[in-house]
Amino acid sequence: MFDNPGGFFMNLIAGLPAIVIAMVVHEYSHARVAYALGDYTPRLQGRLTLNPAAHVDPIGLLMLFLVHFGWAKPVQINPNNFSNPRRDDILVSLAGPASNLVTAFVTLIIFVMLIKFDVGLSEGALVVINLIIIYNINFAIFNMLPIPPLDGSHILRNILPYEMARTYERLEQYSFVFLILILATPILDWVFVPLQKIIFALFKGVAGILL
């Protein structure tokens, strides 16, 4: 899921800030949008902050490096606090992946500007910047998969008719099995590689127009 060139220690050192940024941005955006839509649960749980300690799960972070699959602390929300529960739950779910894409794009813009103005960057800095872009794009793509409890499943559940949504919810008990099967097969490569290339090419094209 989060493969990148280099050995384990290079991934650990260069990938740590990139993964933490992706996790924090993702979870903070869920919390901020939920709060803006009337749910005070994230505030009561201390999630309206960019402090990594509030969002990063140490075990989930370690698993990312060991088996390339991990997790952050999920933001708990109460849809009953929303004025329009189904619509607002979709907006909250979209907020995380959308924030990751914005972070990737802004990082790319900064990178292009640094190159344009001939700012000297070390090889390590280049790797970190590259990984911030890659990991944020990957976070967005992965979390939009319609597998409970990922964001994509919340979106799909809320647009399905009621009975179909209830049936779909019952699949959550098998979600870990689904994730393991997907990670053990080339399916993610079939999804990630094309989407990653499309998104990155789109970002580069827009950056080229703006700069």
Could you give the residue numbers annotated as active site?
A: 27
- Radius of gyration, CA atoms only, the chain: 18
3-class state of residue 74 by DSSP = coil
Q: Pull the structure tokens for residue 17.
A: 């800030």
- Give φ, ψ of 4 to 5 degrees: -155, 160
Burial of 154 (0-12, 13-18, 19+ CB in 10 A): buried
Which amino acid, 25?
V
Q: d(Cα 66, Cα 44) in Å, to the nearest integer? A: 33
H-run or E-run covering 162: helix 162-169
Question: CB of 112 within 8 A of CB of 207?
Answer: yes
DSSP 121: -
The structure tokens listed for 73 are 């602390």
3-class DSSP string for 49-61: CCCHHHHCCHHHH
